[in-house]
Amino acid sequence: MHWRPKCADARSGFYSELDIIGCLDSNSIGSNNYLSSKVMNSESKLSQIANSPFTMDDFAKALEKHDYQFQKGQVVHGKVFQLDHDGAYVDIGGKSSAFLPRDEASLRAVTDLSEVLPMHEDLEFLIIRDQDAEGQVTLSRRQLEIQHIWERLAQMRENAQTVQVRVIGVNKGGITVDILSLRGFIPRSHLQERDNLEALKGKTLSAGFLEVNRSTNKLILSQRLAARSSNFSLLENGQLVEGKITGIKPFGVFVDLDGISALLHIKQVSQKYIDSLEKVFQIGQTIKAVIIDLDEGKGRVALSTRILENFPGEVLENLTEVMASAESRAHRAVNKAAE
């Protein structure tokens, strides 16, 4: 027996007209004018619906109201329902099935489409051509993979990560590399080996990112940047390091630490006032100094020789002695700072 609402409840308005009709029997209809009128109104409405004309044009218009609008560049979900020699037909919920050409099935070479396009499984596709006259759009899995790779590389650059690349070509300006199936470029100036580029063909290198721009299709990398990033991980505050002076400016001295450029600021050279740094140092000179600040994100390393002095001006008066006993002096300075 099916449950029916009480007629008393029906009067309260909590049920639909069909519920009201269902709750009535012949006696209640005859004895209840309120319910009788509701029944007649419902029957009249049902009769109007049944007699109203609904043509095929009306049906087509109703479909158009609920039809999906697909555009080039849109990512959609769909299911492959047919494979043939030229490609695959995919149901993406449109008026017509979508088509995926064979050469758009995957980034890698494919002999059997069913290996990369399993039937009736929900997959993501990229629309690469707008609807034709019959409402069919063209899809790609290959270009969707490329889009995801660009997004991944952009994130890696944002995080200052390095990547493994394979050298596939050489030109006057540098080398071309394969990176996750995309083509990248490393300028000669950003290679550690700049003289014999031909010898790099086929080799795998570590590289950092200089530019990742999908709109201009630019993917420029640097081997030197990767080496610097690797060396950076070996550095820490309070560490005594040795490097070669590469530049002397009025504000400080630049020191190369195995590919990392560090700055010995003029105020960190000595506790005593310095008139000219060129009177103290020479380009190409090897010096030892203590790291007092690190900023890997900006690639900055700050050094100090001032911290090695036993008295103000010792670096200026006897640099050789300071450098010779730098290890013990640095150890003493670190212990003192920890107290």
- In three-state secondary structure terms, 324 is helix
Helix, coil or strand: residue 196 = coil
> What is the DSSP code (8-state) at residue 197?
G
Which pLDDT band holds residue 299 (cuts at 50, 70, 90)? confident
Residues of the chain above pLDDT 70, percent: 79
Q: Which domain covers residue 107, as residue numbers?
A: 75-140
| β-strand pairing of 138-140 with 163-171 | unpaired
Same domain, 206 and 292: no
The type of residue at 284 is: G
Considering only residues 14 and 264, tell me which one the structure prediction assigns the higher pLDDT: 264
Contacts of 149 (CB under 8 A, 6+ apart): 180, 181, 182
Burial category of 139 from C-beta neighbours within 10 Å (exposed 0-12, middle 13-18, buried 19 and up): buried
Give, in order, the Cα–Cα distances in Å from 169 to each of 46, 47, 187, 200, 228: 77, 79, 12, 9, 24
pLDDT of residue 64: 55
Domain membership of residue 128 (yes or no) is: yes
Question: Which DSSP letter does residue 275 get?
Answer: S
Instruction: Compute the distance between CA of residue 289 and CA of residue 324 in angstroms, rounded to an integer.
Output: 12
* Tokens matching residue 26: 């012949």
Whether 250 and 284 share a structural domain = yes
> Could you tell me if 212 and 170 lie in one domain?
yes
> What CATH number did the domain enclosing 286 receive?
2.40.50.140
Chain position carrying tokens 């007629």:
7
Task: Give the mean pLDDT of 29-43.
Answer: 48
Average pLDDT, rounded, for the chain: 83
In a shared domain, residues 172 and 222: yes
Q: Are 109 and 146 in contact (CB under 8 A)?
A: no
- Closest by CA to 210, choosing from 189, 180, 233, is 189
What is the tally of structural domains in the chain? 4
Residue 8: what pLDDT?
Answer: 41
Residues 334, 241 share a domain: yes
248 and 281 inside one domain: yes
Q: How far apart are CA 269 and CA 142, in angstroms?
A: 57
Q: Contact 207/192 with Cβ under 8 angstroms? A: no
- pLDDT range class, residue 58, cuts 50, 70, 90: low
Instruction: Return the pLDDT at 1.
Output: 39
Q: Find the mean pLDDT for residues 251-260.
A: 90
Q: Locate all alpha helices (DSSP H) within the chain, ordered by sequence.
A: 7-11, 17-22, 26-31, 33-51, 56-65, 113-116, 142-158, 223-232, 314-317, 319-324, 326-338
How much is the average pLDDT of 215-244?
Answer: 90
Question: Coil, helix or strand for 183?
Answer: strand
Q: Look at residue 151 and tell me if it is in a domain.
A: no
Q: Last residue of some domain: 201, 228, 255?
A: 228
Looking at 212, 228, 244, the residue that finishes a domain is 228
| Residues sharing a CB contact under 8 Å with residue 231, sequence separation 6 or more, in sequence order | 257, 258, 259, 260
Residues 211 and 135 in one domain: no
Q: Evaluate whether residue 67 is within a structural domain.
A: no
Task: State residue 26's pLDDT score.
Answer: 42
> Does residue 150 lie within any of the structural domains?
no
Distance in angstroms (rounded) separating the CA atoms of residues 62 and 196: 69
Q: Are residues 283 and 253 in the same domain?
A: yes
Distance of CA 316 to the CA centre of its chain: 51
CA-to-CA distance for 307 and 327, rounded, in angstroms?
Answer: 12
pLDDT at 185: 98
User: 101 and 192, same structural domain?
Assistant: no
Residue ending a domain, among 213, 228, 243, is 228
Residues 136 and 217 in one domain: no
| Bridge partners for 313 per DSSP | none
Dig out the tokens for 132 from the structure. Answer: 């034709």
How does pLDDT run across 190-217, given as a tens digit for each residue? Answer: 998 888 899 999 999 999 999 999 999 9
| 178 plus 98 within the same structural domain | no
The H-or-E segment that residue 286 falls in is: strand 286-295
218 is a domain residue: yes
pLDDT, mean of residues 253-269: 92
For range 58-73, the mean pLDDT? 65
State pLDDT tens for residues 79-127. Answer: 999 999 999 999 998 878 999 999 999 998 888 999 999 999 999 999 9
CB 268 within 8 A of CB 261: no
Q: What's the confidence (pLDDT) of residue 230?
A: 77
My answer on whether 242 and 315 are in the same domain is yes
Residue 145 lies in a domain: no
CA–CA separation, 121 and 191 (whole Å): 46
Cα–Cα nearest to 280, from 293, 292, 264, 291: 264
User: Does pTM top 0.85 for this prediction?
Assistant: no
| Residue 210 and residue 222 in contact, taking contact as beta carbons nearer than 8 Å | yes
- The answer to the question of residue 308 being in a domain is yes
Most confident of 31-40, 228-237, 279-288: 279-288
Q: Provide the residue type at 317 as one letter.
A: E
Tell whether 156 is covered by a domain.
Answer: no
